[in-house]
Amino acid sequence: MKPTIEPPKASDDQVIKLGEYLRDPEKPLKGRFRALFTLRNIKNELSIKQIGECFSDTSALLKHELAYCLGQMQSSEAIPILSNVLGNKAEHPMVRHEAAEALGAIGTEECLTILKDYVKDDEEVVRETVELALGRIKEVKDNNISDPTSPYLSVDPAFPMACKDVKKLEETLLDENLPLYQRYQAMFSLRDLNTSESIQALCKGFQGKSALFRHEIAFVLGQIQHPDSIAALTKNLGDLDENEMVRHECAEALGAIGNPECEKILKVYLEDQQRVVRESCVVALDICDYEMAGNFQYADGLQTIATESS
């Protein structure tokens, strides 16, 4: 998905309407995602409130995306919301993972204190995410990083290494004995290189033992949007034994690549046995349509609510 360049201008009334649309389970999922991404880009206290009020929804996919967006907004106003989500042991692990990652993206002392309570969480994906989040906060402090955004305008769970040697980065990426944060650093370095060789190295990351790690591999391949990764993403999407969190991210990455081949693949899994995968394909096909149409900015939720209310 292409990053948004300019935040949309919206009145408080429009923001509230976007929130109402987001929380309405009768609305099409793709429309609700458009509303969510628009609220994320508006990035004020009212939009955070609208997003936070949607965590009672039944869709783990949507709630995980709510947490992701709150992290990308990097506002301390979201901390109590994310803390409650992370602390809810009845919540889907992928939602709790995303809340932990979001707290790491915000990165205040309060976030640090909250995250330390979950270093021994029962869920592996939560423990691993907390490890990454704590590593990210430490690196920001140690290196006095003031602008944490990537070339893709995303706030990532790790910062890339200075190394540009693909072979060395691949070795680090695949070394299960290294700290997860270090391997993530190699991952984002390979992403930023964005060459055929670096993409091939990233695709090998699907061999990793950690579902969290494999899901992030799919995420960065979606950011790169290169056809060279279609085969690997398709293979993992089609693996019914794969963690649903990984399969979901593979679907969305294919949507971001956004060509007729990806569209055809995604349609195969619209009736998948896993709800997270089915819903991911719905959203991915919407993103795919946007990419193939050559539109400048995805997720114009303001247009969506204006069209439906007219």
pLDDT tens figures, 275-285: 999 999 999 99
pTM of the model as a whole: 0.93
Using the predicted structure, report yes or no on whether residue 230 has a pLDDT greater than 70: yes
d(CA 143, CA 129): 21
Range scoring the smallest mean pLDDT among 6-15, 79-88, 183-192, 291-300: 291-300
d(CA 20, CA 32): 9
**Stronger pLDDT, 302 or 247, i.e. the higher one:** 247
**Residues placed in the known binding site:** 64-65, 97-98, 215-216, 248-249
Using the predicted structure, report yes or no on whether residue 1 has a pLDDT greater than 60: no
Tally Cβ neighbours within 10 Å of residue 46: 16
What confidence tier does 242 reach under pLDDT thresholds 50, 70, 90? very high
**Of the candidates 280, 195, 193, the residue with the CA atom closest to the CA atom of residue 236:** 280
Using the predicted structure, report yes or no on whether residue 297 has a pLDDT greater than 60: no
Chain centroid to CA 182: 19
- Quote the Cα angle for 196-198-203, to 5°: 95
**What is the pLDDT averaged over residues 79-87?**
98
pLDDT at 304: 67
Instruction: Decide: helix, strand or coil at residue 155.
Output: strand
pLDDT at 293: 83
d(CA 255, CA 259): 8
> How long is the chain?
310
Instruction: Decide: helix, strand or coil at residue 259.
Output: coil
Range scoring the smallest mean pLDDT among 40-54, 141-155, 162-176: 141-155
**What is the pLDDT averaged over residues 287-302?**
73
Using the predicted structure, report yes or no on whether residue 8 has a pLDDT greater than 80: no
**Residues placed in the known binding site for Fe cation:** 64-65, 97-98, 215-216, 248-249
Report the DSSP beta bridge partners of residue 155: 149
Q: What DSSP string runs through 269-299?
A: TTT-SSHHHHHHHHHHHHHHHHHHHT-SSS-
- Residue 264 tokens, joined: 């055809």
The span from the first CA to the last CA of the chain, in angstroms, equals 29
**Of the candidates 89, 27, 77, the residue with the CA atom closest to the CA atom of residue 51:** 77
Asked if 211 and 217 count as a contact pair (C-beta separation under 8 A), the reply is no
Using the predicted structure, report yes or no on whether residue 296 has a pLDDT greater than 60: no
Range scoring the smallest mean pLDDT among 5-14, 82-91, 238-247: 5-14
What confidence tier does 162 reach under pLDDT thresholds 50, 70, 90? very high
d(CA 258, CA 251): 11
Using the predicted structure, report yes or no on whether residue 309 has a pLDDT greater than 90: no
pLDDT at 300: 65
What confidence tier does 168 reach under pLDDT thresholds 50, 70, 90? very high
d(CA 44, CA 46): 6
**What is the pLDDT averaged over residues 95-105?**
98
Which string of b and e fits 209-240 if b means at least 16 CB within 10 Å?
Answer: ebbbbbbbbbbbbbbbbbebbbebbbebbeee
Using the predicted structure, report yes or no on whether residue 2 has a pLDDT greater than 50: no
> From its phi and psi, is residue 194 left (phi > 0), alpha (psi between -120 and 50) or beta?
left
Burial class (CB in 10 A: 0-12, 13-18, 19+), 120: exposed
What confidence tier does 6 reach under pLDDT thresholds 50, 70, 90? low
> H helices within 144-210, ranges in order?
166-174, 180-193, 196-204
d(CA 222, CA 217): 9
Asked if 266 and 222 count as a contact pair (C-beta separation under 8 A), the reply is no
d(CA 158, CA 185): 6
**What is the pLDDT averaged over residues 108-121?**
98
Using the predicted structure, report yes or no on whether residue 253 has a pLDDT greater than 80: yes
Using the predicted structure, report yes or no on whether residue 178 has a pLDDT greater than 50: yes
